[in-house]
Structure 1
């Protein structure tokens, strides 16, 4: 199932990672581990935020998806099921 992972980073923890020079390394490790279909970064609600589209094969993948953000950035993490256009068309075709 395709999901959108939204990680809102704690400002103090993110500032610490930036000042220490570890932010690029931590983000690269996390992205290499999760292998997102797409990844976007920017401010949302005044806080640094990562939006990742991930294809999860099983619900057991939830802990390893969120933990890097919890442990490294004290982030708030939300995971929401999402669809691309092809998924939507397939789902809508089943409504007939």
Structure 2
């Protein structure tokens, strides 16, 4: 992965994180900052997986790579939400 690929994955990671959160049903109890961090990680790992399987060498928008990134982001947001749990005090 080149420097431009890493930079684009960081920028795209913000959008991927938000899309990953949108595809999950219900309310997530993590903040937007955590969503962005998960999205950036999912974009980087998704780009790496797409390159590993030869899916990132297409012209134009690489929809398969984007789909992998959004799925990883949704899984990451769901896992982080579950790990952190509902931290609200009882009775609220």
TM-score (norm 2): 0.28
Larger strand proportion of the pair: 1
Higher relative contact order by CA 8 Å / sep ≥ 6: 1 or 2? 1
TM-score (norm 1): 0.27
Larger helix proportion of the pair: 2
